[in-house]
């Protein structure tokens, strides 16, 4: 994980939300550790490995302190991977955490949130600390022990987040 | 598995083929054992368990004697689960065996091949012997040892298939 | 698998049996397919992969036609890997099939059954057909679909085994 | 996990050490988080699940801050589960962390370290914090994300351990 001197995580650019009553911003989630899980619904590594892991994360930690946010960063098949298909996918796979749809790319295939985070592909796991700082960026899959530990390290920074010197 | 007195497997009703130069019929495949694997691309049990198993079947047996045929029996979301989405799915999951798209249901949501085989849902695994007879019908998932053995039992009926008494 | 022209499997050299009312010979098992599973109780590949597979084999096939026989071919630590330890191992792992203890090596560490079958180590899986012929010899681990299919091919030779021309 | 008000972990009663140049005490390990992994070499849940997990723990965290200690708490078959057998087991399974052999039970089958920690059986996972306090006691198996997180929470208490108020 990156040190606490890391930069602030960029805002999201969202076309549509699922599993959220209203749009969610990083500002809204300040005070919580945020797990940002970027996926595509037809990416095999996402469907078989990282999405089940995101579900285990959501079950393992207290939602009062941790938010799991999915983001569908479609960079290959925007024409057919519509929000209507994603709605079916979310229901069939019983995903319960909020899921954002990244906006279409403006000047190319890469959608803007994916660009803002300099993601190399899917799946990508991003950890953002209680103050909104980007602390971990992992392209591909990581084992549960590493991910569970990294989340816990950020959760343990709770008291420090009230530190007035920062 | 059902006995060799089983009935002839019904024909398929196909809107479109992938991974096939021309439409395939059961008649064309007579002489081979046929593994008919019914799936939906957004069915979790299909994507995580039965599709990888179908790929292992295709790798484990000699294509001169065994044909793996996928059939996309979309009975829930025909409007969004288009052949264009399926084309992406097949490419992303690197499925190499021929895959048929079941026709839309005429008088209801259930597509006609699914109806003809009385399938209860997806995934469903169907084994058809060298003479075109329906020998196994399994809804849900089965372990590799059982499936491998059942396929081998049908492959071993090779000599009998030349039996002139039948 | 080897062809049906394979040689007759050699006899076993057994110090002691577990899970068997009396000593078992290949002659006794003629008419059945025999899965001979050679293992050592402190071999990681055996304990984590091949022994669970042997248990799945024993559950998947009809004992009227298939016999799973374990053989403990201790070639490294005969002094400490005693039958008393093996008895505990068999009970703790709930192994229900007959298990033979290979005799100590006479002129070196390799026990005589292991030598007779030219085994390279553990785990080793041997398949013997209904007539006692050695049809498959696999050192290391193999996937369930391959093993299930190979067993089924041998089981399907049932009728031929009564063929008087052979 | 238990709160930081937990009691001090009891001392170990060790007949013999493996993978340790000299006997290790909890006092020696003060300042580190200690993962105490109680197992028996012929316990299936230990061999197939918890021992591989202990190896993953040892690889995932910095040994300057975390010590994985195995303890062989033989309570069933002391006569045959000798240290000589354990030496073979440790070598074959390539266990690299220090492993203690619990002393034989004095007035019954339960060995004294197992009694001191009130363990119910094997596998048992114990987490001890940097000040030697018992913080987690889990009989059976737990998933990697939970274990990884609990270890990280204790590791994150580093600064507090230098707190002079305690």
Tens of pLDDT, residues C84-112: 999 999 999 999 999 999 998 888 899 99
pLDDT at B164: 39
Residue C73 forms part of a structural domain? yes
Record: contact C156-B151, CB cut-off 8 A: no
Neighbours of B116 (CB within 10 A): 14
D vs B contact (3+ beta-carbon pairs below 8 A) = no
Q: Across the A/B interface, how many CB contacts are shorter than 8 Å?
A: 46
How many CA atoms, within 13 angstroms, populate the side-chain half-sphere of residue B5?
Answer: 0
B77 touches chain A (CB under 8 A): yes
Average pLDDT over residues D123-130: 98
Hey, are the CB atoms on D80 and C76 less than 8 Å from each other? no
pLDDT at A162 exceeding the cut of 80: no
Instruction: Classify residue A68: in a domain, yes or no.
Output: yes
What's the CA gap between A121 and A104, in Å, rounded?
15
Q: Is residue B159 predicted with pLDDT exceeding 60?
A: no
Contact check, Cβ <8 Å, C148/B153: no
pLDDT digits (tens, 9 = 90+) for B73-132: 988 777 888 899 999 999 999 999 999 999 998 888 999 999 999 999 999 999 999 999
Closest-CA distance of chain C to residue B109, Å: 35
Tell me if D152 and A157 make a contact (CB, 8 A cut-off). no
Chain C: give the shortest CA distance to residue D4, in Å. Answer: 38
B49 touches chain A (CB under 8 A): no
**pTM for this model (two decimals):** 0.92
Would you state the pLDDT for residue C154? 97
Within 8 A of D80 by CB-CB distance, chain C residues are: 82, 84-85, 87-88
Instruction: Check whether D164 has a pLDDT greater than 50.
Output: no
CB of C89 within 8 Å of any CB in chain D?
A: yes
Band the pLDDT of D161: cuts 50, 70, 90.
Answer: very low
Does A79 sit within 8 Å of B80, measured CB to CB?
no
Q: Measuring CA to CA, which residue among C90, C85, C143, C139 is closest to residue C117?
A: C139
Q: Determine, for residues D153 and A152 on separate chains, whether the beta-carbon distance falls below 8 Å.
A: yes
Within 8 A of D144 by CB-CB distance, chain A residues are: 143-145, 148
Is A55 at the interface with chain B, CB within 8 A?
A: no
Q: Given this model, what pLDDT does residue A125 score?
A: 98
Model confidence band, residue C160 (pLDDT cutoffs 50, 70, 90): low
User: In B, which residues are within 8 Å of A54 by CB distance?
Assistant: none
The whole domain housing C54 covers 14-20+27-156
What does the pLDDT look like over C23-50, one tens digit per residue?
A: 999 999 999 999 999 999 999 999 999 9
Cross-chain Cβ contact A82/B80 below 8 Å: yes
Task: Say if residues A114 and A73 touch (Cβ distance below 8 Å).
Answer: yes
List, in sequence order, every residue forming a beta bridge with D18; answer none if it has no partner.
Answer: D99
What is the tens place of the pLDDT at every residue in B4-42? 778 999 999 999 999 999 999 999 999 999 999 999 999
C-alpha distances (whole Å) from A156 to each of A48, D32, D158, D164 are: 30, 17, 11, 20
A near D: at least 3 beta-carbon pairs less than 8 Å apart: yes
Distance separating alpha carbons of residues B67 and C11, to the nearest angstrom: 40
Decide if A159 touches D, using CB distance below 8 A: no
Per cent of chain C over pLDDT 70 is 95
> Does residue C37 form part of some domain?
yes
The answer to whether residue A41 neighbours chain B at the CB level (below 8 Å) is yes
Count interface pairs B-C at CB distance under 8 A: 60
In the sheet with C134-139, reading across from the earlier edge strand, the strands are C14-18, C99-102, C66-72, C33-39, C124-128, C134-139
Chains in contact with chain D (at least 3 beta-carbon pairs closer than 8 A):
A, C
A162 touches chain B (CB under 8 A): no
Digit-coded pLDDT (tens) for D6-55: 899 999 999 999 999 999 999 999 999 999 999 999 999 999 999 999 99
Confidence of residue D2 (pLDDT cuts 50, 70, 90): confident
Confidence of residue B160 (pLDDT cuts 50, 70, 90): low
Which chains border B (3 or more CB–CB pairs < 8 Å)? A, C
Better pLDDT: A79 or C8: C8
Element (H, E) at D146: helix D144-155
> Is B44 part of any domain?
yes
Mean pLDDT value across residues C43-58: 97
A85 — pLDDT class (breaks 50, 70, 90): very high
Chain C contact for D48, CB < 8 A?
yes
Is there a contact between B57 and C147 if contact means CB atoms under 8 Å apart? Answer: no
- D40: in domain: yes
Residue D81 lies in a domain: yes
Q: At what angle do helices D144-155 and A144-155 cross, to 10 degrees?
A: 40
Query: Does B77 lie at the interface with C, CB-CB under 8 angstroms?
Result: no
User: Bridge partners of A71?
Assistant: A38, A100
CB-CB: which of A41, A77, A92 is closest to B43? A92
CB–CB of D148/A152 below 8 Å? yes
Give the integer Cα–Cα distance in Å for D29 and A106.
57
A-contacting chains (≥3 CB pairs under 8 Å) = B, D
Please tell me which residue of chain C has the smallest CA distance to B147: C145
Residues of chain C positioned with their CB less than 8 A from the CB of D84: 79-80
D58 vs A: CB within 8 A: no
Q: By percentage, how much of chain D surpasses pLDDT 70?
A: 95
CA distance B68 to B8: 18
> How much is the pLDDT for D163?
45
Please give the tally of structural domains in chain B: 1
Q: Output the CA–CA distances (angstroms, integers) from residue D14 to C33, D70, D113, in the order listed.
A: 49, 11, 8
Taking an 8 Å cut-off on Cβ atoms, the answer to whether A157 and D157 are in contact is no
User: Is there a contact between B152 and C157 if contact means CB atoms under 8 Å apart?
Assistant: no
Decide if A152 touches D, using CB distance below 8 A. yes
Taking an 8 Å cut-off on Cβ atoms, the answer to whether D82 and C80 are in contact is yes
How do residues B32-67 score in pLDDT, each as one tens digit?
Answer: 999 999 999 999 999 999 999 999 999 999 999 999
- Out of A44, A87, A88, whose CB is closest to B93? A44
Q: Which pLDDT value is given to residue A18? A: 98
Q: Are A63 and A46 in contact (CB under 8 A)?
A: no
- The residues, ordered by sequence, that sit 6+ positions from B139 with a Cβ below 8 Å of its Cβ are B119, B120, B121, B123, B124
Query: Could C42 and D93 be called an inter-chain contact, meaning their C-beta atoms sit closer than 8 Å?
Result: yes
Tell me the shortest Cα–Cα distance from A141 to chain B, in angstroms: 16
Q: Which residue has the tokens 């899959």?
A: A141
- Is the pLDDT assigned to residue D94 strictly greater than 60? yes
pLDDT in tens, D54-78: 999 999 999 999 999 999 998 877 7
Q: What is the DSSP letter of D68?
A: E
Residue A164 has pLDDT above 90, yes or no: no
CATH of the domain at C59: 3.40.30.10
Ordered alpha helix ranges (H), chain A: 26-29, 44-45, 51-60, 83-92, 112-116, 144-155
Q: Share the mean pLDDT of chain C.
A: 92
Q: Is residue C36 part of a domain?
A: yes
- Listed in sequence order, the DSSP H helices in C30-164 are 44-45, 51-60, 83-92, 112-116, 144-155
pLDDT of B165 reads 38
**According to the model, what pLDDT value does residue C161 have?**
46
D88–C85 C-beta distance less than 8 A: no
pLDDT for position C164: 39
pLDDT exceeds 50 at position A161: no
Task: Nearest by CB to A156, from D56, D60, D153: name it.
Answer: D153
pLDDT score recorded for residue A159: 52
Return the residue of B nearest to A76 by Cα. Answer: B88
Q: What is the band of B161 on the pLDDT scale with cuts at 50, 70, 90?
A: very low
Which residues from chain A sit within 8 angstroms of residue D149, using beta carbons? 60-61, 148-149, 151-152, 155
Chain C residue with Cα closest to D85: C80
pLDDT at B75: 84
**Range D98-102 average pLDDT:** 97
């Amino acid at each position: 994980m990156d040190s606490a001197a890391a930069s602030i995580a960029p805002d999201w650019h969202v076309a549509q939300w699922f599993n959220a009553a209203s749009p969610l911003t990083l500002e809204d989630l300040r005070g919580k550790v945020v797990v940002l899980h970027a996926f595509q619904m037809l990416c095999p590594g996402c469907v078989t490995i990282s999405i089940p892991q995101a579900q285990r994360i959501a079950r393992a930690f207290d939602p009062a302190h941790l938010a799991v946010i999915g983001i569908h960063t479609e960079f290959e098949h925007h024409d057919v991977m519509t929000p209507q298909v994603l709605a079916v996918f979310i229901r069939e796979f019983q995903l319960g955490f909020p899921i954002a749809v990244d906006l279409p790319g403006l000047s190319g295939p890469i959608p803007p949130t994916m660009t803002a985070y300099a993601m190399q592909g899917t799946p990508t796991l991003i950890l953002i600390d209680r103050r909104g700082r980007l602390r971990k960026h992992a392209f591909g899959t990581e084992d549960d022990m590493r991910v569970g530990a990294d989340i816990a390290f950020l959760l343990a920074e709770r008291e420090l987040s009230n530190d007035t010197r920062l």
